[in-house]
Amino acid sequence: MDILPILSTLRRHKITALLVIIEIALTCAIVCNAVFIISQRLDRMSMDSGVDEHRLLHIQLADIGDTKDKKSRTLTDLAALQQIPGVAEVASVMQVPFGNSSSNSGIKLDPKQKLSTLNATMYSGENLVPALGLQLVAGRDLRPDDFKDFDDVVRGAAAKDAKSLPQVIVITQNMAQRLWPGQQALGKQIYLMDYPMTVVGVVKELIRPSIWDDSAKSYSMIFPMRMARGEYVVRTKTPEDRERVLAAALAKLKEINPHRVVLKKHTFDDMRHDFFQNDRAMAGLLIGVCVALLIVTALGIVGLGSFWVAQRRRQIGVRRALGATRTNILRYFQTENFLLATIGIVVGMVLAYGINLLLMVHYELPRLPGIYFPVGAVLLWIIGQLAVLGPAMRAAAVPPVVATRSV
């Protein structure tokens, strides 16, 4: 196909050609960035929590009045929950992944340090590692003789009594790598306020209850503290048991002490669903906009293409009369669209890159990966070709006899 005649024709239709180019460029720039944001959100939504989500339940209760014997009540609750058929593990905990409310603390590697090295979240509760289904990758789990009662720890901290505080700790692999890059974390010490704690175990992954910075999402520590706050994690033997166990557990807890209120009761799958609801909504909206954009662009090409064909009926007829085949005419319009799309795509890529730079500054988005450029180009080429097909076929159908008519 000869490109030069197409170019010379386009030169006489500068504005229309320019509009097609601008439209394709804008669409390309917006869609590339939107798809990139969508992929970021989808990645975030499939974030690994490190816990055995499909078999976990979370129940949170609150007392109506003051209760004195919280500790023994918790033991009763735990024993009763363990009795329910289908229950594998239970734990009374301080906080849970996807729970949104969290306790966090600055960590130091040296007590003389002024600024903390990093901020990590604090999980605790006896039997927490098996109950959450965490994967231990080094060292050991916390042992019963490591544990202290939470209230004693608080009192000890207020009295500056180091002996009543936890001595050992389990941390996540990510946190260990951040604190001691390339080194073995076991046996090392970290300082919380001014008190040292020795790392005895490392778990593969455990995300924070609330994530305000994705890069610090797995800085979690597990303390040997027994909790008695009425917040329980139940791990069932199979995922199918969950609903039944949840109902049974609530009935049992209510039976043990009717004078309390259930604040939360859900499966971890539901918690994850709720936790990422904003990301899901954003991704959905972006998908909608991308589809709408591509449709509008395609319709624009169809509209302009039809106009173009109508305007050049006579010219087409002449060409046909001079021996051009239908395929020649079809190819002509297809090539024309391909040329316009290519220019639009090139401009669009530059624009996409510029928008991405802006987003990187204002919305802390990473750099647009290179793969988006070829994929975006192919997508727009295909859309352009499909959109121009209708008008081009109509052009090809113009009979040579048109040339002889005075329009």
Residue numbers of the site for another protein (CB under 8 A)? 15-16, 19-20, 22-23, 26-27, 29-30, 34, 37, 62-66, 106, 114-116, 154, 157-158, 160, 193-194, 259, 261, 263, 274, 277-278, 281-282, 285-286, 289, 292-293, 296-297, 299-300, 302-304, 306-308, 310-311, 359, 363, 407
Minimum distance, C-beta of residue 45 to another protein, in the bound complex (Å): 14
Closer to another protein by CB, 71 or 204: give it: 71
Minimum distance, C-beta of residue 140 to another protein, in the bound complex (Å): 28
DSSP string of 91-155, one letter each residue:
EE-S--TT-S---EEEEESSTT-SS-SEEEEEEE-TTHHHHHT--EEEE-PPPGGG-EEHHHHHH
Taking the alpha carbons of 363, 365, 367, 373 in that order, is the dihedral positive or negative? negative
Minimum distance, C-beta of residue 329 to another protein, in the bound complex (Å): 20
Q: Residue 166 is inside which H or E element, if any?
A: none
Closer to another protein by CB, 262 or 397: give it: 262
305/381 Cα distance (integer angstroms): 15
Closer to another protein by CB, 198 or 277: give it: 277
92/211 Cα distance (integer angstroms): 22
Do 187 and 219 meet the contact criterion of CB atoms below 8 Å apart?
Answer: no
62 forms bridges with which residues in the sheet?
Answer: 261
Closer to another protein by CB, 141 or 152: give it: 152
238/250 Cα distance (integer angstroms): 18
343 CB-side CA count, 13 A: 14
Closer to another protein by CB, 137 or 310: give it: 310
Minimum distance, C-beta of residue 23 to another protein, in the bound complex (Å): 5
Minimum distance, C-beta of residue 31 to another protein, in the bound complex (Å): 10
119/107 Cα distance (integer angstroms): 6
Minimum distance, C-beta of residue 120 to another protein, in the bound complex (Å): 15
Tokens of 335: 């090539």
Minimum distance, C-beta of residue 285 to another protein, in the bound complex (Å): 6
Closer to another protein by CB, 252 or 313: give it: 313
